[in-house]
Structure 1
Amino acid sequence: MKKNQLSIRTIVAIGIGAAVFVILSRFADIPTPIPNTSIKTSYPFLAVMASLFGPTAGMLIGFIGHALTDFTSYGSVWWSWVVVSGVVGLGIGLLTKNIGSLSGSLSKKQILQFNLAQILTQAIGFGLVAPILDILIYAEPAKKVFTQGFVAGLANIITVAVIGTAILAAYAKTQTKANSLTKE
């Protein structure tokens, strides 16, 4: 087996992750006053999955999950934001791949690393990449798409900071602490 191939565990995580992303996007969004912009509960999930399974899984979960959501919700795909969902998963996965072991607890350093990674990635993704792609691909008005990107990015940053950190901390508690077994 080649070293650069995905493991079965990662492939399963991508499939399940994309499916959960779709479900959360379809049924657990909170509308905002900005047209076509909502508070997404799928991004905390994406951030956690990218942190646990790495950048490739994060990118594919975001890309596939968002594409399927758009297709099943609207009948067509808004590619600029689909790409950004993939970029967000990739960026968070890359910046948190050294987060270390989550054995028993989540340290303040790990929480800080997780949140700095998601803030930076989402600010770039939704603040710059999404609006620029909207302008280039769809000829959307700059003021409109930068407002949408700002609102979506800020909402995602807050939801990932609150919900994503809580999920990651709860997951860490389910993991066995290193050296927790002693020999009598």
Structure 2
Amino acid sequence: MELSIKTIVAIGIGSALFVILGRFGSIPTGIPNTNIETAYALLALMALVYGPAAGLLIGLIGHTLKDAIFYGSPWFSWVIASAVVGLLIGLAAKNIRIGEGEFGKSEIFRFNLFQVIANAAAWFVVAPVLDILIYAEPTDKVFVQGLVAGIANIVTVAVLGTLIAIAYAKTRTKTGSLSKEG
């Protein structure tokens, strides 16, 4: 896997923004250690624009740094879940041409279908199962946390992620919109 300089820079910036949003764009849910995180809207956009490797690495690096800085050490089951979200949304990016200025109703529907699948896989399955396997956490606790985190992330990406993706697409030149004057 070879990454372009542009993608490497995007990974660095995306990871830093994930940390900042994880600190200042986080709303407690009332469930211990489970917040509504605006960082996942950014992760979704970066994965759409830069692809699966960038999505995976932004989720992995950003979440690791956020946990290390604000909690003292990373909680790897959730770090891996964040990486899974970025990877899966990035894989879906091949079917969504946001970089070409295309993000209409069809793309919005597909983006949200993919992000729901990605968040559900990560938070309803990966995070709770790894919490049990890595940390021997109580089953009922981790599945409640995963359910709340998953629903929160699905809604956050559906609303905020869709809005920033629409705004981003409007900054791109649509394919075939320029013509050669003769």
**TM-score when normalising by structure 2:** 0.96
CA contact (8 A) 2:96 2:102 kept: no
- The code of the aligned residue for 2:2 comes to Q
Q: In the alignment, is residue 7 of structure 1 matched against residue 7 of structure 2?
A: no
1:102 shift after superposition: 4.3
CA contact (8 A) 2:49 2:99 kept: no
Aligned-pair identity in percent equals 60
- The code of the aligned residue for 1:111 comes to I
Q: In the alignment, is residue 33 of structure 1 matched against residue 15 of structure 2?
A: no
- 1:59 maps to 56
| Structure-2 change in CA distance of 1:122 and 1:101 (3 Å) | closer
1:5 shift after superposition: 1.1
1:95 shift after superposition: 1.8
Instruction: Provide the C-alpha distance between the structure 2 equivalents of 1:59 and 1:101, rounded to a whole number of angstroms.
Output: 19
1:108 shift after superposition: 1.1
- 2:148 maps to 151
- 1:106 maps to 103
Structure 2, unpaired ranges of 5+:
none
- 2:173 maps to 176
CA contact (8 A) 2:97 2:103 kept: no
1:164 to 157, 161, 166: 161
- The code of the aligned residue for 1:72 comes to I
CA contact (8 A) 1:48 1:164 kept: yes
CA contact (8 A) 1:103 1:173 kept: no
Q: How many residues align?
A: 181
- 2:119 maps to 122
Structure 1, unpaired ranges of 5+:
none
Deviations 1:27-68 (A, max 9, x none): 110111111100000001001100110000000000000000
- The code of the aligned residue for 2:69 comes to T
Instruction: Provide the C-alpha distance between the structure 2 equivalents of 1:6 and 1:130, rounded to a whole number of angstroms.
Output: 27
- 2:70 maps to 73
User: What do you get for the CA RMSD once the two structures are aligned?
Assistant: 1.1
**TM-score when normalising by structure 1:** 0.95
